[in-house]
Structure 1
Amino acid sequence: MSIEGKAKEAAGFVKEELNEHGNSLEAKQKAQEGRDLRNEGRIGDGKDPKLTEPGTGHDEK
């Protein structure tokens, strides 16, 4: 795992968590940006992107 990939995944996770429960369009967009950043970091480290709904506890596959 690269440090850059870990940093992107962590930053994306934080951004998503901070905004996923907001009802405004801006909050939803920021949450999606966080998901995209998190998945970009995962792909950069050779992992599959997370495609399940956040907070569901589903496996990553």
Structure 2
Amino acid sequence: MEVMMSVEGKIKEAAGYVKEEAFENGKSAESQRKAQEGRDLRNEGRIEDGKAPKTSKPGTEN
């Protein structure tokens, strides 16, 4: 069964992924905060599309 995803949800998830990936390896508190912002945006998009949010630490696959 294919789930219909909203364009807005896809964009939020993709933008959050990019931001999370860009800052995940930074050691500073600012980098970690930005990685978490990316994860939060990614999860917002996932939830809008009926997917489970990512609950692991930003920068980890699962």
Report TM bin, short chain.
0.7 to 0.9
Shift of 1:50: 1.0
Q: 2:35 aligns with which of 31, 34, 37?
A: 31
How far apart in 2 are the matches of 1:32 and 1:52?
Answer: 11
Unaligned runs of 5+ in 2: none
CA displacement, residues 8-53 of structure 1 (integer Å, 9 cap, x when unaligned): 0000000000001001111000000000000000000011101124
In 1, the alpha carbon distance for the partners of 2:26 and 2:55 equals 20
Aligned runs of 1:1-61 on 2, under 5 Å? 1-53=5-57, 54-56=59-61, 58=62
Structure 1 letter corresponding to 2:60: G
CA RMSD of aligned residues (A): 1.1
- Counterpart CA distance in 1 for 2:18 and 2:56 is 17
Q: Provide the TM-score with structure 2 as the length reference.
A: 0.84
Q: How many positions carry a matched residue from both structures?
A: 57
